[in-house]
Every structure is written in structure tokens, then in C-alpha cells.
Amino acid sequence: MTASIQPEIAATLVDWYDRNARDLPWRLPPGSALPDDPAWPYRVWLSEVMLQQTTVAAVKPYFAKFTETWPTLEALAAASDETLMAAWAGLGYYSRARNLLKCARAVAERGGFPDTEAELRALPGLGDYTAAAIAAIAFGKRAVVVDANVERVVARLFAITEPLPGARKAIRAAAATITPASRAGDFAQGMMDLGANICTPRAPRCLICPLSGSCEGRKQGDPGRLPVKPPRKVVPERRGTAFWITRAKGTQVWLVTRPPEGMLGGMRALPDDGWSAQEHGSGKAPLGGAWQRLGAVRHGFTHAHLTLEVRALETVSQPRGAGQWWPVEKIGEAGLATLFAKAARLALARGD
């Protein structure tokens, strides 16, 4: 691909985006002037953090809930850790929520978001992609924005055959050659939309792609093979136990808050036996008694698959360690991580 056609790629892509942009609650219509409103970079930042490794469909209701509960950055910065972690429950990758609150507090302290990539990267939880996306979308700065969708488009457009993750340097360099100075946010979002809807992981829709005439991968006959991915690693299997401890004739259940660091850190949960991605749980219960085995639930994490046995006990004793008695009828409001929400549903179903 010659350097002379690079501006044409950007112009073609932006023109396509003008006609085909997804209507998303955190976006402006294509070609809109950027609002002079501190809520705008806040909404862009919040959406980008939520969208990391998560689908648009999953994010929409959470984005709506967060912006209704905390309409400004300052409101979010004032939220308690416990309240925010409960609101995040079910969205996964909980380190994002912890970093979200750290970042909100840091930005509130400095009086607003910076508008350069370098300053944005210095904020808690903001890596290269998120900083570039905020700089381009929220502030209109030229920034090379490469998420998984853009990575796929560029790998095919330039026929970059080096396997991932080693290819990422070449992909970023190639993306830089087509990133325009004007309408930087629209270009970035157009590339994301193209990857999400046209240049898909399987069976790319080349016949309706606006960039098909410039795509080296298509010219070589099999764009779907790109980007080349490394062999999948075997994900280890782990076992653990969760304990459904009730009192007052089953109307209250004992919940704990997990340590701030580590898997599901800071989330409300059922007590468990110390399982981790590296180790099986001990099976040791937090108090003695005639435990009833209710069954097991399965859950997949990035680094392990977990089979979690659920055991139940009605007690008049106080379990060891810190925790709280929670009304069983309001368990849906506890903000349990998805894994423990599954365990609670199993316990309730077996109890019925």
C-alpha cells in the first residue's frame, strides 16, 4: 500500500461513518462540534472504561445506571467504594471498577480531565488505548486509537502477517499512517464500528466494506485469517466452596467483602474457602455444623475455570471474621459478583 493513498483511506472511512455510525448513548452524532461541558469527557471516559473487554450490549444498561446515579465526575468521586463496587456487579473485570474510582478522585482533585494523551496516561487505570480514545473522542486531538476491532481492521488492511501479540507494534505504526488530524474522534469511532459490524472476526463482509479496494488482505485472498493469533493456552481448572449461611429461619444470609486486591477484589460475596486462579480451595468451613451440599456452579475467569460447590447451614452462631447479615429477600440488591450471584440463585432454588 503506497503512502499516497493514506489520506484517501481516512476520508473514505469518515464518509462511511457519517452514514453508518452506531447510535450509542455515549456518542455525539457524526460531525458534531465537541460540547464545552465537563460532563462530556466524563461520559467518554466512563464508556471507554466500561467497554474494555465487554460488549456494547452489556455496557448500555450499566452506563445508563451510572450516569443517572452519578451524573458528574464529582458525584462519582464522592461515591463510597462499597456502593460503586455493588453498582458494577455483573459487569466483570472488577479491577476496572477499583481504578474507575481512583481515577475519578484523582481527576476531581485536579479539577478536570487533561486533554493530552501523555497526561491522560498518567491517570489511574488509563492505558495507551483508553488515553488515546479519550484524547480523540472527548477532545478532538489526533491520537492513534487501536482497540481489538481496529487491530483487526488494520491487520487486514495492511496484510500484517506477524502473529499477535508481536504484531501490535506494526499494527499501531500502520494505524498511525491513516489517522487524520481532523475529525479524529469520528475516525476512531468509525474504525471501531467497521471492525464491529463489517470487518468481523469471522466471515468479514468485504463486499460492503468501504475500504475493500485498499485492503491488502482481501487482495491476497483470505482476509479472515488476519490477524494471526497465537495458539490458545490451556486454562486450568480450579475447585472451591462457597458457604450459604443463614439465620432467623432463613431470612438473613451472611455476606463478606472480599479483600481489595485480588480476584473480585472489593466485592460483596458469600464466604468461601480461599480458592484462587492458582490454587484449589481448602474446603474449610467458617464455622462448624451440619452443612448441606446444594450442588455446584461453574464460572469462567480469564486465567482459570472454577467449579464452586455451594454448601448451606442455618445457624444461631456468628461466623468468624468481618461480615454482615443481609436480608435474603433483598439479595439482588447486594451487588454480588456474578459468580456469587450464581451461587445465591442455586441456594435459593434448592431452599425452595
Please give the Cα distance from 258 to 268 (Å, whole number). 6
Closest CA to 175 of 33, 55, 13: 13
Q: DSSP letter string over 204-218? A: --GGG-TTGGG-HHH
Can you name the residues that pair with 238 across neighbouring β-strands?
306
Q: How far is CA 157 from the centre of its chain?
A: 26
List, by residue number, the catalytic residues. Answer: 48
Positive or negative, the Cα torsion across 98, 101, 107, 113? positive
Residue 30 three-state SS: coil
Q: Give CA–CA dist 138/119, Å, rounded.
A: 14
Residue 256 identity: V
* Largest Cα–Cα separation, the chain: 77
Residues 121 and 106: their CA atoms lie apart, in Å, by 13
Distance between CA atoms of 42 and 123, rounded to whole angstroms?
Answer: 13
